[in-house]
Structure 1
């Protein structure tokens, strides 16, 4: 059986502002902000109180529902502020970093003699467990459940996303250590996907099943690969890990320190010089965005993540926990007179009605955040199916989420989807429905009612 995965349905959105393959050290942030909202479903219980001094790798808080799951500080320094919301909910933990970083020494881990339980305990105690997520529900993995397989997508197909072949160069030892550890955490296989013609360091790791992926976005989404390789049925669990998080896990195992370093791509048509930066998790976005990036009075939207599934942040905001790209594109707060009633040459569309992007498939566009329409009832057009490669009915599952029919959601395949799997259907939706928000609400309902 071939390990090649060829995706036919999808859509490549070609945008201006791709990052040059050059890496610079970002201006070192003075402040780092960890937001519990990045960890969906986690109820934080604070360990490091306001005013506490921490090392990089010290525990900041743990999950009240699963006390073994801890969350570590990306830097050494002082907890200067704990921002709270309604009912004293912890919204953010702000750290002031030391000039010279000090790491908590966890000691080198013996992988050869390690068991699944010892590896799991080590990842939980050192704060690396939040990097392991699960399907169903797209939340941090439950350490008490055994996965039937573990998936790593080393192929990024989203628009203007970081090139993983480039960012993982030189990290072969860390990647191999992390993959070796993951193989002991499942009785099934560890599936690693890379681009069909890539030279990714992940293509040469041992102990994993390598798949070569080709086709339009969302071929790089781990959910697409799960659907094509080993779909999730009721009662089954699979785990997923991002490639750059593998590097952090591998360095912890090999060197004993929690080094929350990220290579982040600063991209987008509003950026003067798109390129890569070396920074840390939760660092200030301004250290990259305004360092020869964009002017402070530019009318642009800053997104932590890619344009399809990323999260808008303020100019003084921080990189979120899982992102390796910051996208800056023009804010779409202007409206085009009779824009609906004249030929369109500067926008992407899957329709051929008055739009002509299909004539030049390699053209790169300078798109803004304007939705070019208003929210309205679902319209059955068949466009979702054209860009949705999963063996699932997208319109039907979205409607089942809206009227909260748990039985129908189960039958339609809700266990194996995540919000990012519906980013493209949201992009092409003529009804301007918030597909990702609908799917997230449906998953939350299933987690609450079914568990």
Structure 2
């Protein structure tokens, strides 16, 4: 077992109950462009077209053969683009009776008898190939590539998340079948990363079940990869989430795309925090009816409070890789000399408030950053929350300065935005390191 000592568990009120609500229904859904980093779509449909579940919507021009398919059946209502015709979203109004594309015709044999190329073909045609992401760069892999190893995330340490094993136990056979299918895509190890004392086991020699414990980001793929099989300029691994592993198994078993998604509805402004059974790309408005305390004073976040996406017109839908919808109070009000108060109701990483004496207290966090942007102040905050063998301050300064060689030598290729989310949270300078890391990784990838 690997214990993570450097990190931070945010004590936020509004954790979800281990109760699954299956009553919510979706009427709209969308594909969000920013969920697929670096993608340049070649559209295969247009506004007004009727589509089925699993039908191809567009192909990635940069990754020929990689398709995005529809998670719902209905009519395409809008294709939204931004500056320089950047793809923002594709919106579908769901039909009352949904039809699915069958992928049985390209499955000539059971999955346990398929070879690597046959499995890849099914994943590419169905669109489930995009559930896989690479390190370095944290992007969809190119068709025809092979990883040195595959990491399956079967734990979650994000604030206000739920235990993935609640869902895995419901689909246990599918989960193990999905692992066996993925194992055929690499000659290396398949690492299944789980919590301490997990019930998940495997006797297959190629599959290694690894336990992690301790502080967030103990559940992040970047942490798992760093400790178990680090990447480099010449070495690539893939990672995938447990719900997508189940979806892969169901695809090969039923020949149809499984679009179910389990998410946590949580946060200080959630009236009834719990787990909700919904679907990929669902409209957040469909889920939040009657669920929000003071809607006009609430910030809706698709994903974690640390690395989620804000709710607005083109992104009023569940993100492709998100398992949370978080409701926070808007931090409109500024407080005069707030740093000088006793702070019994404020959380601080640097122990400047009396609230540190209340060890089990949880706080109603809001969206205020409590300050403005300023120069980086090296006071040891980053080292407290970035686990692993990193020189945190040096790495972050190199990323901000866009020093490619220094950043690579200091380990930036192992990271994605979510791995630096805690550094952003504790930063005295209020710097968004995730955004700057993405800009640097794009430059490194472009320069080869």
Q: Check whether TM > 0.5.
A: yes
Deviation at 1:86, TM superposition (A): 2.8
Aligned partner of 2:116 in structure 1 is: 116
How many Å separate the matches in 1 of 2:195 and 2:85?
46
* Counterpart among 27, 30, 35 of residue 33 in structure 1: 30
Deviation at 1:356, TM superposition (A): 2.9
2:138 counterpart of 1:138: yes
Q: Equivalences for 1:45-444 in 2 at 5 Å?
A: 45-107=42-104, 110-199=110-199, 202-204=200-202, 206=204, 207-290=206-289, 292-295=290-293, 297-314=295-312, 317-353=316-352, 355-444=353-442
SS in 1 for 2:17: coil
SS in 2 for 1:22: strand
How many Å separate the matches in 2 of 1:205 and 1:166?
22
Deviation at 1:295, TM superposition (A): 4.9
Where do 4+ consecutive residues of structure 1 move more than 3 Å? 202-207, 295-298
How many Å separate the matches in 1 of 2:233 and 2:78?
42
Deviation at 1:378, TM superposition (A): 0.4
* Deviations, residues 149-189 of structure 1 (Å, cap 9, x unaligned): 11112111111013211122211122122111111111110
Deviation at 1:348, TM superposition (A): 2.0
* Counterpart among 9, 22, 26 of residue 6 in structure 2: 9
How many Å separate the matches in 1 of 2:202 and 2:16?
25
Deviation at 1:125, TM superposition (A): 1.0
SS in 1 for 2:111: coil
Deviation at 1:66, TM superposition (A): 1.1
Asked whether the equivalents of residues 202 and 208 of structure 2 are also in contact (C-alpha less than 8 Å), the reply is: no
How many Å separate the matches in 2 of 1:179 and 1:285?
30
How many Å separate the matches in 1 of 2:288 and 2:312?
11
Asked whether the equivalents of residues 154 and 192 of structure 2 are also in contact (C-alpha less than 8 Å), the reply is: yes
* Deviations, residues 344-390 of structure 1 (Å, cap 9, x unaligned): 2222222123x134323322111101111111000010111011112
Asked whether the equivalents of residues 179 and 205 of structure 1 are also in contact (C-alpha less than 8 Å), the reply is: no
Deviation at 1:266, TM superposition (A): 0.4
* Deviations, residues 97-119 of structure 1 (Å, cap 9, x unaligned): 11122111111662222111111
* Deviations, residues 281-325 of structure 1 (Å, cap 9, x unaligned): 1111112222x3115743010000010011111388111111111
Deviation at 1:65, TM superposition (A): 0.9
SS in 2 for 1:14: coil
SS in 2 for 1:37: helix
How many Å separate the matches in 2 of 1:26 and 1:50?
30
How many Å separate the matches in 1 of 2:7 and 2:275?
27
CA-based RMSD: 1.6
How many Å separate the matches in 1 of 2:26 and 2:293?
19
Asked whether the equivalents of residues 233 and 415 of structure 1 are also in contact (C-alpha less than 8 Å), the reply is: yes
How many Å separate the matches in 2 of 1:98 and 1:352?
54
How many Å separate the matches in 2 of 1:306 and 1:403?
27
Aligned length: 443
Give the direction of change, closer, same or farther, for the CA distance of 1:296–1:346 in structure 2 (3 Å limit): closer
Asked whether the equivalents of residues 331 and 370 of structure 1 are also in contact (C-alpha less than 8 Å), the reply is: yes
How many Å separate the matches in 2 of 1:204 and 1:269?
38
TM-score by length of 1: 0.95
Give the direction of change, closer, same or farther, for the CA distance of 1:57–1:366 in structure 2 (3 Å limit): same
Deviation at 1:447, TM superposition (A): 1.2
How many Å separate the matches in 2 of 1:260 and 1:390?
35
More displaced, 400-409 or 250-259? 400-409
Deviation at 1:77, TM superposition (A): 1.0
How many Å separate the matches in 1 of 2:396 and 2:346?
26
Deviation at 1:27, TM superposition (A): 3.1
